[in-house]
Structure 1
């Protein structure tokens, strides 16, 4: 693939990822209970990508950065995995905030005033907008080069966005459909545009990949584990196994 095509590919893939949020709501059966097996397949594939491809890529990025930074390799490798933990904890905190603020912990039917509901919406959806912008940015700047690697990354992130879309749609309903989905779709495009316009140090890319890895794992797990989801373990395992096999073959 020539350089011109490769340089345009991130923009094409970013448009496809934006389309996930823009049009996912039309597949209404995905949000049913018991949970659609396709959402579980998508979650499994996204997690497989993190463990089989993204975390090894993070480790490789950490090792290459040592060539330009005067720090021990073991120290930098620890730092990138700590950042992955930070990503995990950050999105766990946001999920707990959304759950408690919405009164889902048996608060005696108390009502949430409109101002609190709007604040919860903007904090929660806004954090996912930043998250999506990071995904879009990494379409342009990634440690692993090549069109195939880029397509595999975009496919995994697209499946992950599908899972996130239905989680947020369940939280916020019409508000998400009217405003949130467009914010998340646009943030992917903004992140990719910023990627074309800026170049950052390899260390920053390693840390960004680490944070993303932690966020992906938490966001998939929190959608799959709650009992009320009635998730499909078989479908989740099939998605994880199939995508892991694909990543190991290519």
Structure 2
């Protein structure tokens, strides 16, 4: 299974490195493909990710039932909300920094904070290729499809925020983070409790990163394409 998942890790890396050449994704009005991708990602979050988050909550309940951390029972969703809030804060920081000269140290600092955050994000996704709950061929394929189209949206957003700097440095770092996360998954099994919190944080981040790409009016998103992507992928997830 570990070498099998390496194929998917390399697929994620390919998406990061070559999405820049899909020039039709960078237009306004927003490409219908990106709106479909957003719908697929939302469907994956609500039909697959959140139920899996509930499973992690039950594991935490079992672990912390009588311990001093009992107050965390039923609150793994707070961690997911913290993930959403953290990535929202990052986006606000980037927007504010864009008002500053791009040659300034402040802009460079914000760029690295942004990239480091998504490096952790990607490393966790790479880790979950090996240590996640996707055991069968179809489950792994669905995970790959959902996260690949999600990466397309993320890359497009990061490219808009940081332009050539992202293509020159950022995309290579994020591609490497996928492989790094996969290697950690192959060699190290993280404590189940820690993994549950990381998974929850990632879920919150995915929700924010999907919605921030679809909701802004200036993006001129396509609701029909978004709805089609979410409905079709929901049906596939439910049937499989």
TM-score when scaled to structure 2? 0.93
**1:39 aligned to 2:34?**
yes
Q: Of the candidates 9, 29, 39, which is equivalent to residue 24 of structure 2?
A: 29
Q: Following the alignment from structure 1 to structure 2, what is the Cα–Cα distance between the partners of residues 140 and 76?
A: 27
SS in 1 for 2:74: helix
Q: Is the 8 A contact 1:62 1:203 kept in 2?
A: no
Q: Following the alignment from structure 2 to structure 1, what is the Cα–Cα distance between the partners of residues 204 and 90?
A: 13
Q: Is the 8 A contact 2:119 2:177 kept in 1?
A: yes
Deviates most, 89-98 or 194-203: 194-203
Q: Which residue of 2 aligns with 1:18?
A: 13
Shift of residue 247, structure 1, vs aligned partner: 0.2
Q: Which residue of 1 aligns with 2:86?
A: 90
- Return closer, same or farther for 1:75/1:235 CA change in 2, 3 Å cut-off: farther
Structure 2 regions of 5+ residues with no counterpart?
none
Q: Which residue of 1 aligns with 2:199?
A: 209
Q: Which residue of 2 aligns with 1:235?
A: 225
Q: Of the candidates 191, 206, 218, which is equivalent to residue 208 of structure 2?
A: 218
Q: Which residue of 2 aligns with 1:116?
A: 106
Q: Which residue of 2 aligns with 1:70?
A: 65
Q: Which residue of 2 aligns with 1:148?
A: 138
- Return closer, same or farther for 1:77/1:236 CA change in 2, 3 Å cut-off: farther
Q: Is the 8 A contact 2:2 2:186 kept in 1?
A: no
Deviates most, 196-205 or 84-93: 196-205
Q: Is the 8 A contact 2:65 2:73 kept in 1?
A: no
Q: Is the 8 A contact 1:61 1:143 kept in 2?
A: no
Structure 1 regions of 5+ residues with no counterpart?
1-5, 104-109
May I ask how many residue pairs the two structures share in their alignment? Answer: 239
TM-score when scaled to structure 1? 0.90
SS in 2 for 1:59: helix
